[in-house]
């Protein structure tokens, strides 16, 4: 009677097996990231398309309120600077995350850039928020939500990049997963 041969696993088999598993995992992660980024881009296009102005338009001039309760002409504040307008709601966790990201970046932005936060919340609430968070950028009130209503900015956070000539360069609505302020600096 013949004895069955002993089953041996060679080193080469083990190496190829591990390599195959690693490549499969990498391709799975890559495919997942691709699908996620396409979904985010599609959602952003859908929500951005609801805003009443588009990329390439001149950003509308508007009067807002400073935290000192003074009327501010937004175009005067933006004068000659590349501007990021961050529309936010202080109670939103997504806005909170974006505010913290920008807070870390604002001191390192080139001189010809400015970040302005805009919210329809009352001036007193915005003052408290600015103090609590130690914000180092301008925060303005949109009285009675007149601007955000008129131009249909319905999602928070919304980030709008405007060049020094007041032309809208990009509109990013809702939550910006995986996108950093540095990414937005490159766009503007």
Q: What is the pLDDT of residue 36?
A: 45
pLDDT computed for residue 45 by the predictor: 45
pLDDT for the residue numbered 177 = 66
- Specify whether the CB–CB gap between 181 and 137 falls below 8 A: no
Model pLDDT, residue 151: 87
Which CATH architecture fits 50-187? 3-Layer(aba) Sandwich (3.40)
pLDDT at residue 30 in the model: 72
Look up residue 104 and give its two tokens: 């870390």
Task: Map out the domains of the chain as residue ranges.
Answer: 50-187
- What pLDDT, on the 0 to 100 scale, is given for residue 46? 43
pTM of the predicted model as reported, rounded to 2 decimal places: 0.72
Per-residue pLDDT of the chain (188 residues), as tens digits, is 565 566 566 788 888 888 888 888 878 777 765 554 454 444 444 444 577 778 899 999 999 999 999 999 999 999 999 999 999 999 889 899 889 999 989 888 888 999 999 999 999 999 999 999 999 999 999 998 888 888 888 888 999 999 999 999 988 887 666 777 888 878 77
- Are 119 and 141 spatial neighbours (Cβ–Cβ below 8 Å)? yes
State the SS3 of the chain: CCCCCCCCCCHHHHHHHHHHHHHHHHHHHHHHHHHHHHHHHHHHHHHHCCCCCCCCCECCCCEEECCCCCEEEHHHHHCCCEEEEEECCCCCHHHHHHHHHHHHHHHHCCCCEEEEEEECCCHHHHHHHHHHHCCCCEEEECHHHHHHHHCCCCCCCEEEEECCCCEEEEEEECCCCCCCHHHHHHHC
């Amino acid at each position: 009677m013949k004895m069955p041969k002993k089953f041996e696993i060679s080193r080469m088999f083990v190496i190829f097996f591990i390599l195959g598993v690693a490549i499969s995992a990498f391709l799975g992660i890559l495919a997942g990231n691709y699908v996620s980024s396409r979904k985010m881009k599609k959602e952003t296009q859908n929500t951005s398309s609801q805003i009443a102005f588009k990329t390439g338009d001149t950003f509308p001039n508007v009067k807002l309120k400073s935290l000192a309760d003074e009327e501010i002409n937004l175009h005067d504040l933006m004068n000659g600077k590349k501007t990021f307008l961050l529309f936010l709601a202080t109670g939103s966790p997504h806005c909170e995350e974006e505010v913290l990201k920008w807070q870390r970046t604002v001191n390192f932005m080139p001189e010809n850039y400015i970040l302005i936060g805009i919210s329809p919340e009352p001036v007193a609430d915005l003052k408290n928020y600015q103090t609590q968070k130690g914000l180092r950028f301008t925060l303005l009130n949109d009285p009675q939500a007149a601007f955000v209503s008129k131009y249909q900015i319905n999602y928070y956070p919304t980030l709008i990049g405007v060049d020094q000539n007041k032309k809208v360069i990009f509109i990013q609505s809702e939550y910006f997963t995986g996108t950093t302020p540095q990414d937005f600096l490159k766009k503007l």
